[in-house]
Amino acid sequence: MIWDPYYECMDPEQRAELQVRRLRETVARLNVSVPWYRDRFADRGIGPEDIKSLDDLRHLPFTTKDDLRDTYPFGLFAVPPEECVRIHASSGTTGKPIIGGYTREDINSVWAETIARTIACGGGTSHDVLHNAYGYGLFTGGLGLHYGGELMGCLVIPASGGNTERQLMLMEDLGSTILCCTPSYALTIADTAADLGIDPDRLKLKSGIFGAEVWSEGARESIEERLGLSAHDIYGLTEVIGPGVAGECEAKAGLHVFDDHFIPEIIDPDSGEPLPPGEAGELVFTCITKRAFPLIRFRTRDISRLQYGKCECGRTHPRMERITGRTDDMLIIRGVNVFPSQIEEVLLQIEEVEPHYQLVLTREGRLDNLEVQVEVSPAMFSDEVRKLEAIEEKIRERLSSSLGIRVGVKLVEPKSIERSIGKAKRVIDMREEA
């Protein structure tokens, strides 16, 4: 089923006209309501009247994660915060998070709408029981899928994360047909089901909407086989709106970018120049329908490529390839975005700690494990085990509360972490592709 055939199967030229009109309106609105954008438009001598075709997009300024940090919390809001009804947040590169604001219209007409399209891409209809195991809270996953599922008319089970055995009981008892969670959690659910002797046939799952992590074709096959469902990718980010920026249909030939709301571009990350269709580069999004927080040319740092042309499913949206990498050092650990700079900031606030540290990522079973190795400094050293353990515990607590994930801390000998000239090698990622 296609949720909104009018927009999703629109003739590309007609859609381009719609995009230009919406882009011009957005630029006009930002020019009035967001001084930060007004200054940047003025610097480039560009105004809404200059936007005549999609090619003119390239004349608009980029927005980066650093810009969001500098304007935190409300500097890029296009409406007063009191006109918003919701805030979501994700990790920034330092202690302050990235926050996104939503008006009621943003949630109902843009976000829930694009999520409903994504659920439909995954074969969902109003008759489905949607088991939503994305975390509910500041993270966009839980509430995003929740509102989209309700808009579609699904019976939504707001399970959130954790307690896998109970999740399986609910899925079996309530007859869940669609599972929404991170791909690694889907594998955990499959493991737990196997441990409990629950055969996939006892579950009614037919489809899964999995995202917030980078995953592989191998992981897809494993999830599909072990849970007896068809696994679909979903893409999104808090800065743009959350999940539902793009979704994968049954053709599984890339994710449809809902570009009547979010115009995608692929640029050369070094020069900033747009790249021809089909070439790999950094994904950039411009929001053209949002009220509260419409970013212009937001640089995602995700590497992908775009393919244009009608899909066999009938949709005419461009399709983005599964994310293949990042242009920065962001890590995704258990679905949570983590920047090494966040970790460094926390460590430097602890007086005994010197800035010699290393991050080691491993996978234990299905779960990512982050170990922060910190060199023992003279100020930290004690001949008593409990004092060293107390420092370990202090580092662990501060990191865990700042990052929002459990972190292991290991004290290591001085100089044992490789010193390098220039950029230190801070991250050792030993996770095999899921």
Partner 1 sequence: MTASDLLSKQVSVFLENKSGRLAEVCQALGRSEINIRALCIADTSDFGILRLIVDRPDEAVEVLQSAGFSVGSTGVLALRIPDRPGGLGEVLDRLQEVDVNVEYMYAFFITIAGDAVVLFKIDDAALDATLNVLDGAGIQVIPSDEVYRL
Minimum distance, C-beta of residue 430 to partner 1, in the bound complex (Å): 17
Distance, in Å, from the CA atom of 374 to the CA atom of 319, rounded to the nearest integer, reads 43
Nearer to partner 1, 327 or 362 (CB): 362
Minimum distance, C-beta of residue 350 to partner 1, in the bound complex (Å): 17
Minimum distance, C-beta of residue 338 to partner 1, in the bound complex (Å): 22
Task: Determine the interface stretch with partner 1 among 26-34, 144-152, 262-270, 387-395 (rule: CB under 8 A).
Answer: 387-395
Cβ atoms of 42 and 156 within 8 Å: the answer is: no
Nearer to partner 1, 287 or 395 (CB): 395
Distance, in Å, from the CA atom of 264 to the CA atom of 305, rounded to the nearest integer, reads 10
Residue 104: phi and psi, rounded to 5, are: -60, -40
Nearer to partner 1, 385 or 421 (CB): 385
Distance, in Å, from the CA atom of 248 to the CA atom of 255, rounded to the nearest integer, reads 4
Which are the contacts of 253, defined by CB distance < 8 A and separation ≥ 6? 307, 311, 312, 319
List binders of partner 1 among 345-384 (CB under 8 A). Answer: 376-378, 381-384
16 binds partner 1 (CB under 8 A): no
312 binds partner 1 (CB under 8 A): no
SS3 content of the chain, % helix, strand, coil (to 5): 35, 25, 40
419 binds partner 1 (CB under 8 A): no
Minimum distance, C-beta of residue 385 to partner 1, in the bound complex (Å): 5
Task: Determine the interface stretch with partner 1 among 290-298, 311-319, 388-396, 399-407 (rule: CB under 8 A).
Answer: 388-396
Residue type, 215: W
Minimum distance, C-beta of residue 373 to partner 1, in the bound complex (Å): 9
Any idea of the CA torsion for 134, 138, 144, 146, to the nearest 10 degrees? 60
Task: Determine the interface stretch with partner 1 among 59-67, 199-207, 385-393, 422-430 (rule: CB under 8 A).
Answer: 385-393
Nearer to partner 1, 203 or 372 (CB): 372
Minimum distance, C-beta of residue 25 to partner 1, in the bound complex (Å): 58
Nearer to partner 1, 170 or 417 (CB): 417
Cβ atoms of 160 and 143 within 8 Å: the answer is: no
Closest to 209 (Cα-Cα) out of 275, 301, 116, 292: 116
Nearer to partner 1, 61 or 408 (CB): 408
Minimum distance, C-beta of residue 365 to partner 1, in the bound complex (Å): 19
Q: State whether the Cα torsion 418-420-423-428 is positive or negative.
A: negative
Minimum distance, C-beta of residue 409 to partner 1, in the bound complex (Å): 9
389 binds partner 1 (CB under 8 A): yes
**Which of 365, 385, 421, 423 touches partner 1 (CB under 8 A)?**
385
Nearer to partner 1, 401 or 416 (CB): 416
Any idea of the CA torsion for 18, 105, 248, 200, to the nearest 10 degrees? -160
Which strands make up the sheet holding 367-375, listed edge to edge?
Answer: 408-412, 367-375, 357-364, 427-429
Nearer to partner 1, 312 or 384 (CB): 384
Total interface residues for partner 1 by CB under 8 A: 18
- Interaction mask 397-416, partner 1, x per CB under 8 A: -------------xxxxxxx
Distance, in Å, from the CA atom of 37 to the CA atom of 47, rounded to the nearest integer, reads 11
388 binds partner 1 (CB under 8 A): yes
Q: State whether the Cα torsion 189-193-196-202 is positive or negative.
A: positive
Q: Write the Ramachandran bin of 356: left for phi over 0, alpha for psi from -120 to 50, otherwise beta.
A: beta
Give the residues lining the site for partner 1 (CB under 8 A): 376-378, 381-385, 388-389, 392, 410-416
